[in-house]
Chain A
């Protein structure tokens, strides 16, 4: 199954889901005479998904030449591991505060990027602390954004 067919399937499902959700959950009450109502545009959006999903599904594509995959299995693991780290970062700064969360994230992510290179742990540590301080000064002092420190 080609990527286009998979996308077509996703587009069709999304369109049908939107139709169903709009029909059952969006209040169709029209407050101004002549107004198409708040359901109109969701239906339009759903129709675009369905129509062009069908076009994508029905068109015949030339045989896909053996192309380099978007990402290899290991690359996908790396990507989702960094995504997971970012998710943990959000929880860290929500519960542990900006300084601790940011310092840990910077150290972990710079270590991830530097994996395989000879970057000393001290350099990464100093970098993490320094950038955290700079970010704190930028946001808290210069831009007066409230940040929970710890």
Chain B
């Protein structure tokens, strides 16, 4: 309990409150605008936190994270265009309310759903993470390597059908981690005398190039943007009644459990949980025909689920040092940059910091909720921000962030190179989640693999004799084999159908 009070004491300091408020608002606004996301807000703000106190840095980043996930519903309800993939299913019923001239109801439900999803999920995560961390501490380097590899392959197999492109994405993500000084032996690899390559590539320049830069350049090239005139709706303000919660309590609890479980699985998170929760809510409803026509349950389900997945995603991040999705990968890297050793020992070595993460998240959820209640009338204004002013500012912020990561203009050049990589990946439909996980986990993968083999008396056979490692590797390679065969048979069937149709 002392850690909880210590975290609360830090969070109520005026400086922390102001930073958390700005972080939440930045996440909310960027999460609301289609094409941008809360993840982009983290990417842009990450380098700005390098000079901050670690506690303040993580409090701000958690605020942005939660604001970003929460903000996605605003575009879904007001424009029919989700701000982030976490709010896809919210469009189906949420936008109907706007068409019927009652957006405030849907917005009020979504704002409350966000809080109901986030705060309890972080409380559950606080307790579950300890349990998992106690188990994870007993893992040796062989098992840890296998766990990291399993997480990456799970992301590939669950996120996209195309296993080949997923594995190529994984290799592309590993590639930048191989440049620089190798772990264990400190050998220089692929630096060719270029001093700027010796430290490898910073996470900031990779993420800024791959996501922020690529997104904005493609948006500019395509030129199709949300028309601000849609945002002329009038919103009366927060208008939720207790009976609205009472009618949907079963749906809320069920969607919470779905979100928590799905968020725990690497690579799934809010994108899958909101759609899953909506489908289940519709299929189990007494009147499923009412879904898609302005049913409050159709707003409760996806929004509770996508925010509950925050707690689910934080569990492996804290307990295992393995990110659950792209955004937690950024949070994890932020912790590493602040000098923390992530992994199961984080609970024992930095207990106060771990509790700060959870309490900061709950705190941010409360700030987010209050901001949404009082600021609801201003939501349409978010979409009136002219893109010709917003995007250049984001570009400057991003590139300065790349500069700040190593105080070098060369980092900005690297960010430019990764913009090209990002465009290459988008052009060839190569998924980005395996890339991010491989980039973040790559050094850990190599270090644990080499440690496992060099520490063990039986060398490579340690991956067979260590039961946990063996089981995880067996499952991993089975997933790869199954995915390759499934892909092969699906294509053969499609070809047969095409031939028959001709």
Interface residues of A (CB under 8 A from B): 3, 6-7, 11, 18, 21-22, 25-27, 29-38, 40-42, 44-45, 48-49, 51-53, 55-56, 59-63, 70-71, 75-76, 78-79, 82-83, 86-87, 89-90, 93-94, 102, 105-106, 109-114, 117, 119, 127, 131, 135, 138-139, 143-146
Contacts and interface: CB of A to CB of B under 8 A. Distances in A.
A62 B494 contact: yes
Nearest to B460: A36
Given A56-B165, A78-B221, A135-B396, 16 more contacts: A3-B427, A26-B190, A29-B187, A30-B185, A32-B454, A41-B174, A41-B449, A49-B171, A52-B163, A52-B164, A52-B167, A79-B218, A82-B220, A89-B399, A131-B392, A145-B407
Interface string B168-190: 10110011001000101101111
Nearest to A35: B454
Contact of A113 (B192, B220, B412, B446): B220
Contacts of A55: 164, 484
Nearest to B407: A146
A90 B456 CA distance: 49
A3 B454 contact: no
A41 B184 CA distance: 12
B335 interface: no
Interface residues of B, number: 71
B393 interface: yes
Contacts, number: 182
A12 to B, nearest CB: 11
A135 B400 contact: yes
Interface in B220-238: 220-223
Contact of B392 (A110, A139, A144): A110
Given A52-B168, A102-B396, A79 B217 contact: yes
A1 B89 CA distance: 37
Interface string B404-447: 10010100110010011001001111100000000000000110
A78 B217 CA distance: 9
Contact of B178 (A41, A53, A143, A146): A41
Contact of A33 (B167, B407, B416, B454): B454
B389 interface: yes
Interface of B: 48, 51, 163-165, 167-168, 170-171, 174-175, 178, 182, 184-185, 187-190, 192, 213, 217-218, 220-223, 386-389, 391-393, 395-397, 399-400, 403-404, 407, 409, 412-413, 416, 419-420, 423, 426-430, 445-446, 449-450, 453-456, 459, 484, 487-488, 491-492, 494-495, 498
Identify the 3 closest CB pairs spanning chains A and B, nearest first. A113-B388, A114-B388, A34-B454
Contact of A45 (B164, B175, B223, B456): B175
A139 B403 CA distance: 11
A90 B412 contact: yes
Contact of B222 (A32, A53, A71): A71
Contacts of A78: 220-221, 223
B164 A75 contact: no
A61 B386 CA distance: 42
A73 to B, nearest CB: 11
B491 A61 contact: yes
A34 B461 CA distance: 12
Nearest to B423: A79
Contacts of A93: 409
B424 to A, nearest CB: 8
A49 B169 CA distance: 9
A139 B387 CA distance: 23
Contacts of B389: 110, 127
8 contacts: A32-B185, A34-B453, A35-B185, A41-B445, A86-B399, A86-B419, A131-B392, A144-B51
A127 B393 CA distance: 10
B104 to A, nearest CB: 31
Nearest to B494: A62
